[in-house]
Structure 1
Protein backbone atom coordinates (compact mmCIF):
# COMPACT_ATOMS: atom_id res chain seq x y z
CA UNK A 1 0.00 0.00 0.00
CA UNK A 2 1.51 3.29 -1.12
CA UNK A 3 1.32 6.15 1.39
CA UNK A 4 0.32 8.67 -1.32
CA UNK A 5 -2.54 6.42 -2.46
CA UNK A 6 -3.87 6.17 1.09
CA UNK A 7 -3.68 9.93 1.63
CA UNK A 8 -5.23 10.66 -1.80
CA UNK A 9 -8.08 8.20 -1.25
CA UNK A 10 -8.79 9.79 2.11
CA UNK A 11 -8.72 13.30 0.68
CA UNK A 12 -11.04 12.17 -2.13
CA UNK A 13 -13.41 10.78 0.51
CA UNK A 14 -13.34 14.04 2.49
CA UNK A 15 -13.95 16.10 -0.65
CA UNK A 16 -16.56 13.84 -2.23
CA UNK A 17 -18.40 12.43 0.76
CA UNK A 18 -17.85 14.56 3.85
CA UNK A 19 -17.91 17.89 1.98
CA UNK A 20 -19.73 16.73 -1.16
CA UNK A 21 -22.72 15.43 0.78
CA UNK A 22 -22.28 18.17 3.42
CA UNK A 23 -22.07 15.60 6.22
CA UNK A 24 -19.96 18.07 8.16
CA UNK A 25 -20.87 21.66 7.31
CA UNK A 26 -17.65 22.84 8.98
CA UNK A 27 -15.21 20.85 6.83
CA UNK A 28 -15.39 22.68 3.50
CA UNK A 29 -13.91 25.95 4.72
CA UNK A 30 -10.87 24.30 6.29
CA UNK A 31 -10.32 22.10 3.24
CA UNK A 32 -10.50 25.09 0.88
CA UNK A 33 -8.03 27.01 3.03
CA UNK A 34 -5.68 24.01 3.05
CA UNK A 35 -5.78 23.78 6.85
CA UNK A 36 -6.44 20.02 6.97
CA UNK A 37 -3.37 17.84 7.42
CA UNK A 38 -3.62 14.33 5.99
CA UNK A 39 -0.96 12.06 7.45
CA UNK A 40 -0.51 8.33 7.02
CA UNK A 41 0.90 6.52 10.03
CA UNK A 42 3.26 3.61 9.46
CA UNK A 43 1.99 2.06 12.72
CA UNK A 44 1.52 -1.68 12.74
CA UNK A 45 0.49 -1.98 16.38
CA UNK A 46 -1.45 0.05 18.91
CA UNK A 47 1.61 1.35 20.77
CA UNK A 48 3.15 2.80 17.63
CA UNK A 49 -0.23 4.30 16.70
CA UNK A 50 -0.35 6.02 20.09
CA UNK A 51 3.12 7.40 19.32
CA UNK A 52 1.85 8.70 15.97
CA UNK A 53 -1.15 10.24 17.71
CA UNK A 54 1.12 11.89 20.27
CA UNK A 55 3.33 13.33 17.49
CA UNK A 56 0.31 14.75 15.64
CA UNK A 57 -1.11 16.31 18.80
CA UNK A 58 2.28 17.94 19.39
CA UNK A 59 2.30 19.19 15.80
CA UNK A 60 -1.14 20.76 16.27
CA UNK A 61 0.22 22.52 19.36
CA UNK A 62 3.30 23.74 17.51
CA UNK A 63 1.63 24.70 14.23
CA UNK A 64 -1.57 26.68 14.81
CA UNK A 65 -2.02 27.15 11.05
CA UNK A 66 -3.07 23.48 10.92
CA UNK A 67 -6.71 23.44 11.92
CA UNK A 68 -7.25 19.71 12.00
CA UNK A 69 -5.38 16.48 11.33
CA UNK A 70 -6.65 13.28 9.76
CA UNK A 71 -4.37 10.53 11.06
CA UNK A 72 -4.83 7.56 8.75
CA UNK A 73 -3.57 4.19 9.99
CA UNK A 74 -4.09 1.45 7.41
CA UNK A 75 -1.65 -0.99 9.05
CA UNK A 76 -3.39 -1.30 12.40
CA UNK A 77 -6.92 -1.66 13.84
CA UNK A 78 -8.61 -3.02 10.73
CA UNK A 79 -11.10 -4.78 13.03
CA UNK A 80 -13.77 -2.30 14.10
CA UNK A 81 -14.25 -3.76 17.59
CA UNK A 82 -10.50 -3.41 18.32
CA UNK A 83 -10.53 0.09 16.79
CA UNK A 84 -13.49 1.08 18.96
CA UNK A 85 -11.70 -0.14 22.08
CA UNK A 86 -8.58 1.79 21.05
CA UNK A 87 -10.54 5.05 21.21
CA UNK A 88 -10.37 4.79 25.02
CA UNK A 89 -6.57 4.71 24.77
CA UNK A 90 -6.65 7.75 22.47
CA UNK A 91 -8.80 9.63 24.97
CA UNK A 92 -6.49 8.46 27.74
CA UNK A 93 -3.52 9.94 25.87
CA UNK A 94 -5.34 13.27 25.61
CA UNK A 95 -5.94 13.22 29.37
CA UNK A 96 -2.34 12.16 30.11
CA UNK A 97 -0.98 15.00 27.98
CA UNK A 98 -3.46 17.40 29.62
CA UNK A 99 -4.95 18.16 26.21
CA UNK A 100 -8.46 17.02 27.12
CA UNK A 101 -10.75 19.92 26.28
CA UNK A 102 -8.19 21.37 23.86
CA UNK A 103 -8.45 18.58 21.28
CA UNK A 104 -10.86 15.76 20.65
CA UNK A 105 -10.66 12.65 18.52
CA UNK A 106 -13.44 11.87 16.05
CA UNK A 107 -13.60 8.32 14.73
CA UNK A 108 -13.94 6.97 11.20
CA UNK A 109 -13.47 3.39 10.01
CA UNK A 110 -14.36 1.30 6.94
CA UNK A 111 -16.62 -0.90 9.11
CA UNK A 112 -17.97 1.82 11.40
CA UNK A 113 -21.14 0.79 13.22
CA UNK A 114 -23.15 2.98 15.55
CA UNK A 115 -24.41 1.27 18.68
CA UNK A 116 -27.88 -0.14 18.16
CA UNK A 117 -27.62 -0.32 14.37
CA UNK A 118 -27.30 -3.27 12.03
CA UNK A 119 -23.82 -3.67 10.47
CA UNK A 120 -25.09 -2.72 7.01
CA UNK A 121 -27.35 0.17 8.06
CA UNK A 122 -27.02 3.16 5.74
CA UNK A 123 -26.54 5.57 8.65
CA UNK A 124 -23.19 3.92 9.49
CA UNK A 125 -21.81 5.45 6.29
CA UNK A 126 -21.72 8.88 7.90
CA UNK A 127 -18.61 7.58 9.70
CA UNK A 128 -17.33 5.03 7.20
CA UNK A 129 -14.03 5.96 5.61
CA UNK A 130 -11.67 4.26 3.15
CA UNK A 131 -9.20 3.41 5.92
CA UNK A 132 -9.23 3.49 9.73
CA UNK A 133 -8.46 7.00 10.90
CA UNK A 134 -8.46 9.34 13.85
CA UNK A 135 -9.61 12.89 13.17
CA UNK A 136 -7.98 15.37 15.56
CA UNK A 137 -10.10 18.45 16.14
CA UNK A 138 -9.41 21.68 17.98
CA UNK A 139 -12.17 22.01 20.61
CA UNK A 140 -12.26 25.84 20.50
CA UNK A 141 -12.69 25.87 16.72
CA UNK A 142 -15.35 23.18 16.90
CA UNK A 143 -17.28 25.09 19.57
CA UNK A 144 -17.11 28.30 17.50
CA UNK A 145 -18.36 26.49 14.40
CA UNK A 146 -21.19 24.88 16.36
CA UNK A 147 -22.17 28.22 17.90
CA UNK A 148 -22.38 29.84 14.47
CA UNK A 149 -24.41 27.06 12.80
CA UNK A 150 -28.17 27.71 12.61
CA UNK A 151 -29.24 24.09 13.25
CA UNK A 152 -26.42 21.97 14.64
CA UNK A 153 -28.90 19.61 16.30
CA UNK A 154 -30.45 18.82 12.92
CA UNK A 155 -27.18 17.67 11.32
CA UNK A 156 -27.28 14.00 12.44
CA UNK A 157 -30.90 13.49 11.42
CA UNK A 158 -30.34 15.14 8.04
CA UNK A 159 -27.25 12.98 7.47
CA UNK A 160 -29.07 9.77 8.37
CA UNK A 161 -31.95 10.67 6.04
CA UNK A 162 -29.49 11.40 3.20
CA UNK A 163 -27.63 8.12 3.73
CA UNK A 164 -30.90 6.19 3.67
CA UNK A 165 -31.97 7.97 0.47
CA UNK A 166 -28.66 7.17 -1.23
CA UNK A 167 -28.81 3.55 -0.09
CA UNK A 168 -26.16 1.12 1.05
CA UNK A 169 -25.24 -0.11 -2.42
CA UNK A 170 -24.48 3.38 -3.74
CA UNK A 171 -22.64 4.35 -0.57
CA UNK A 172 -20.53 1.20 -0.73
CA UNK A 173 -19.63 2.03 -4.34
CA UNK A 174 -18.77 5.65 -3.51
CA UNK A 175 -16.44 4.52 -0.72
CA UNK A 176 -14.80 1.85 -2.90
CA UNK A 177 -14.31 4.37 -5.72
CA UNK A 178 -12.37 6.69 -3.42
CA UNK A 179 -9.73 3.97 -3.17
CA UNK A 180 -9.97 2.58 -6.70
CA UNK A 181 -9.60 5.93 -8.44
CA UNK A 182 -6.41 6.82 -6.54
CA UNK A 183 -4.49 3.59 -7.20
CA UNK A 184 -1.16 4.08 -8.94
CA UNK A 185 -0.76 1.80 -11.97
CA UNK A 186 1.89 -0.89 -11.39
CA UNK A 187 4.42 -1.76 -14.03
Structure 2
Protein backbone atom coordinates (compact mmCIF):
# COMPACT_ATOMS: atom_id res chain seq x y z
CA UNK A 1 0.00 0.00 0.00
CA UNK A 2 1.28 3.44 -0.77
CA UNK A 3 1.40 6.39 1.56
CA UNK A 4 -1.54 7.81 -0.40
CA UNK A 5 -3.96 5.54 1.47
CA UNK A 6 -2.51 6.02 4.95
CA UNK A 7 -3.75 8.41 7.59
CA UNK A 8 -7.46 8.33 6.77
CA UNK A 9 -9.98 8.55 9.59
CA UNK A 10 -12.20 5.50 10.19
CA UNK A 11 -15.11 7.42 8.64
CA UNK A 12 -13.06 8.16 5.51
CA UNK A 13 -11.92 4.53 5.29
CA UNK A 14 -15.54 3.39 5.49
CA UNK A 15 -16.63 5.92 2.84
CA UNK A 16 -13.94 4.89 0.35
CA UNK A 17 -14.55 1.20 1.04
CA UNK A 18 -18.29 1.70 0.46
CA UNK A 19 -17.47 3.37 -2.86
CA UNK A 20 -15.27 0.40 -3.79
CA UNK A 21 -18.03 -2.08 -2.91
CA UNK A 22 -20.69 -0.12 -4.79
CA UNK A 23 -18.52 0.68 -7.83
CA UNK A 24 -16.49 -2.47 -8.24
CA UNK A 25 -18.04 -5.38 -6.37
CA UNK A 26 -21.68 -4.50 -7.08
CA UNK A 27 -21.19 -2.20 -10.06
CA UNK A 28 -19.26 -4.81 -12.02
CA UNK A 29 -21.24 -7.65 -10.45
CA UNK A 30 -18.00 -9.30 -9.31
CA UNK A 31 -20.04 -10.86 -6.52
CA UNK A 32 -23.64 -11.39 -7.61
CA UNK A 33 -24.63 -11.94 -3.98
CA UNK A 34 -23.47 -8.50 -2.80
CA UNK A 35 -26.15 -6.31 -4.37
CA UNK A 36 -29.01 -7.35 -2.04
CA UNK A 37 -27.02 -6.73 1.17
CA UNK A 38 -25.79 -3.38 -0.15
CA UNK A 39 -29.29 -2.39 -1.27
CA UNK A 40 -30.78 -3.47 2.08
CA UNK A 41 -27.96 -1.74 3.99
CA UNK A 42 -27.19 -4.93 5.94
CA UNK A 43 -23.48 -5.04 5.10
CA UNK A 44 -21.62 -3.82 8.17
CA UNK A 45 -18.39 -1.91 7.53
CA UNK A 46 -16.25 -2.47 10.63
CA UNK A 47 -13.11 -0.33 10.53
CA UNK A 48 -10.65 -1.33 13.23
CA UNK A 49 -7.85 0.79 14.63
CA UNK A 50 -6.03 -2.38 15.68
CA UNK A 51 -2.94 -3.08 13.62
CA UNK A 52 -1.62 -6.48 14.64
CA UNK A 53 -1.23 -9.04 17.39
CA UNK A 54 -3.66 -9.56 20.24
CA UNK A 55 -5.51 -6.29 19.67
CA UNK A 56 -6.32 -7.29 16.08
CA UNK A 57 -7.43 -10.76 17.14
CA UNK A 58 -9.62 -9.23 19.88
CA UNK A 59 -11.19 -6.81 17.39
CA UNK A 60 -11.88 -9.66 14.95
CA UNK A 61 -13.46 -11.81 17.67
CA UNK A 62 -15.61 -8.86 18.77
CA UNK A 63 -16.90 -8.55 15.21
CA UNK A 64 -17.70 -12.26 15.13
CA UNK A 65 -19.69 -11.89 18.37
CA UNK A 66 -21.50 -8.84 17.04
CA UNK A 67 -22.43 -10.58 13.79
CA UNK A 68 -23.65 -13.72 15.54
CA UNK A 69 -25.74 -11.69 18.00
CA UNK A 70 -27.31 -9.54 15.29
CA UNK A 71 -30.47 -10.35 13.40
CA UNK A 72 -29.59 -11.22 9.81
CA UNK A 73 -32.04 -8.57 8.60
CA UNK A 74 -30.04 -5.93 10.47
CA UNK A 75 -26.46 -7.17 9.97
CA UNK A 76 -26.27 -9.74 7.23
CA UNK A 77 -22.51 -9.78 6.82
CA UNK A 78 -19.45 -7.82 7.93
CA UNK A 79 -16.50 -6.36 6.09
CA UNK A 80 -13.74 -6.17 8.74
CA UNK A 81 -11.29 -3.52 7.49
CA UNK A 82 -7.71 -3.09 8.78
CA UNK A 83 -6.50 0.26 7.38
CA UNK A 84 -3.36 0.63 9.52
CA UNK A 85 -2.08 -2.93 9.63
CA UNK A 86 -1.33 -5.99 7.51
CA UNK A 87 0.07 -3.99 4.59
CA UNK A 88 2.36 -6.91 3.73
CA UNK A 89 0.24 -9.41 1.76
CA UNK A 90 1.95 -12.42 3.33
CA UNK A 91 1.33 -11.09 6.85
CA UNK A 92 -2.28 -10.64 5.79
CA UNK A 93 -2.45 -14.26 4.59
CA UNK A 94 -1.02 -15.42 7.94
CA UNK A 95 -3.84 -13.57 9.70
CA UNK A 96 -6.41 -15.01 7.31
CA UNK A 97 -5.24 -18.51 8.30
CA UNK A 98 -5.25 -17.54 11.99
CA UNK A 99 -8.79 -16.14 11.76
CA UNK A 100 -9.98 -19.28 9.95
CA UNK A 101 -8.41 -21.41 12.70
CA UNK A 102 -10.14 -19.30 15.36
CA UNK A 103 -13.49 -19.85 13.65
CA UNK A 104 -12.82 -23.59 13.57
CA UNK A 105 -11.75 -23.67 17.25
CA UNK A 106 -14.92 -21.79 18.19
CA UNK A 107 -17.04 -24.40 16.41
CA UNK A 108 -18.08 -21.90 13.75
CA UNK A 109 -16.82 -23.82 10.73
CA UNK A 110 -19.90 -24.24 8.57
CA UNK A 111 -21.53 -21.24 10.25
CA UNK A 112 -19.20 -18.45 9.11
CA UNK A 113 -16.64 -18.21 6.33
CA UNK A 114 -14.13 -15.60 5.29
CA UNK A 115 -13.48 -13.99 1.94
CA UNK A 116 -10.22 -12.10 1.56
CA UNK A 117 -9.37 -8.70 0.06
CA UNK A 118 -6.09 -6.80 0.03
CA UNK A 119 -4.55 -3.94 -2.00
CA UNK A 120 -1.74 -6.26 -3.14
CA UNK A 121 -3.85 -9.40 -3.59
CA UNK A 122 -2.19 -12.05 -5.72
CA UNK A 123 -3.43 -15.46 -6.73
CA UNK A 124 -0.72 -18.06 -6.42
CA UNK A 125 0.79 -19.15 -9.73
CA UNK A 126 -0.64 -16.21 -11.68
CA UNK A 127 1.66 -13.57 -13.23
CA UNK A 128 2.04 -10.49 -11.06
CA UNK A 129 0.56 -8.11 -13.64
CA UNK A 130 -2.50 -10.24 -14.44
CA UNK A 131 -5.73 -8.35 -13.92
CA UNK A 132 -7.40 -11.38 -12.30
CA UNK A 133 -5.87 -10.23 -9.01
CA UNK A 134 -8.06 -7.12 -9.11
CA UNK A 135 -11.16 -9.20 -8.31
CA UNK A 136 -9.82 -9.36 -4.73
CA UNK A 137 -8.02 -6.02 -4.54
CA UNK A 138 -9.49 -3.52 -2.11
CA UNK A 139 -8.33 -0.13 -0.81
CA UNK A 140 -7.25 -1.66 2.54
CA UNK A 141 -6.77 -5.17 3.93
CA UNK A 142 -10.22 -6.59 4.68
CA UNK A 143 -11.84 -9.82 5.76
CA UNK A 144 -15.42 -10.42 4.65
CA UNK A 145 -17.23 -12.41 7.34
CA UNK A 146 -20.08 -14.28 5.66
CA UNK A 147 -22.91 -16.30 7.17
CA UNK A 148 -22.78 -19.65 5.39
CA UNK A 149 -26.53 -20.26 5.68
CA UNK A 150 -27.22 -16.98 3.91
CA UNK A 151 -24.67 -17.82 1.21
CA UNK A 152 -26.27 -21.23 0.79
CA UNK A 153 -29.68 -19.65 0.26
CA UNK A 154 -28.24 -17.20 -2.27
CA UNK A 155 -26.53 -20.00 -4.19
CA UNK A 156 -29.83 -21.83 -4.68
CA UNK A 157 -31.01 -18.90 -6.84
CA UNK A 158 -27.87 -18.57 -8.95
CA UNK A 159 -27.14 -20.89 -11.86
CA UNK A 160 -23.53 -22.00 -12.31
CA UNK A 161 -21.81 -20.12 -9.46
CA UNK A 162 -18.58 -21.94 -10.31
CA UNK A 163 -18.40 -19.78 -13.45
CA UNK A 164 -18.26 -16.50 -11.47
CA UNK A 165 -14.43 -16.34 -11.19
CA UNK A 166 -13.97 -17.10 -14.88
CA UNK A 167 -16.51 -14.43 -15.87
CA UNK A 168 -14.84 -11.90 -13.54
CA UNK A 169 -11.37 -12.54 -14.96
CA UNK A 170 -12.66 -12.06 -18.50
CA UNK A 171 -14.41 -8.81 -17.53
CA UNK A 172 -11.39 -7.39 -15.66
CA UNK A 173 -9.08 -8.17 -18.56
CA UNK A 174 -11.49 -6.55 -21.01
CA UNK A 175 -11.67 -3.37 -18.91
CA UNK A 176 -7.88 -3.25 -18.55
CA UNK A 177 -5.88 -1.45 -15.88
CA UNK A 178 -6.73 2.05 -17.12
CA UNK A 179 -10.43 1.19 -17.42
CA UNK A 180 -10.48 -0.12 -13.86
CA UNK A 181 -8.73 3.00 -12.58
CA UNK A 182 -11.23 5.22 -14.43
CA UNK A 183 -14.02 3.27 -12.76
CA UNK A 184 -12.46 3.50 -9.28
CA UNK A 185 -9.68 6.14 -9.21
CA UNK A 186 -8.17 5.09 -5.82
CA UNK A 187 -6.87 1.96 -7.60
CA UNK A 188 -4.16 4.21 -9.07
CA UNK A 189 -2.77 4.67 -5.55
CA UNK A 190 -2.22 1.00 -4.80
CA UNK A 191 -2.45 -1.16 -7.92
The TM-score, its normalising length taken from structure 2, stands at 0.89
What whole-Å deviation, never above 9, does each CA across 1:158-177 have from its counterpart, x for those lacking one?
00000000112332454443
Distance 1:178 1:39, change over 3 A: farther
Distance 1:111 1:141, change over 3 A: same
1:120 Cα deviation after fit: 2.0
Deviates more, 1:170-179 or 1:146-155: 170-179
Q: 1:157 aligns with which of 152, 166, 174?
A: 166
Distance 1:105 1:26, change over 3 A: same
Distance 1:121 1:105, change over 3 A: same
Matched, 1:50 2:57: yes
Distance 1:90 1:8, change over 3 A: same
Aligned residues of 1:121 and 1:168 also touching (Cα < 8 A): no
Which runs of 5 or more structure 1 residues have no equivalent in the other structure?
181-187
Q: What SS does the aligned partner of 1:148 have?
A: coil
Aligned to 1:129: 138
Q: What SS does the aligned partner of 1:95 have?
A: helix
Query: 1: distance between equivalents of 2:111 and 2:77?
Result: 12
Distance 1:44 1:103, change over 3 A: same
Query: 1: distance between equivalents of 2:15 and 2:131?
Result: 24
Aligned to 2:66: 59
Q: 1:90 aligns with which of 74, 99, 123?
A: 99
Which runs of 5 or more structure 2 residues have no equivalent in the other structure?
1-7
Q: 1:145 aligns with which of 154, 158, 167?
A: 154
Query: 2: distance between equivalents of 1:142 and 1:119?
Result: 30
Aligned residues of 1:80 and 1:111 also touching (Cα < 8 A): yes
Q: How many pairs were matched up?
A: 180
Q: 1:112 aligns with which of 105, 109, 121?
A: 121
Query: 2: distance between equivalents of 1:148 and 1:46?
Result: 40
Structure 1 segments of 4+ aligned residues over 6 angstroms from their partners: none
> How large is the Cα RMSD of the aligned pairs?
1.6
What whole-Å deviation, never above 9, does each CA across 1:47-103 have from its counterpart, x for those lacking one?
221111100110011112210000100111001111112111011110122111100
Distance 1:67 1:142, change over 3 A: same
1:43 Cα deviation after fit: 0.6
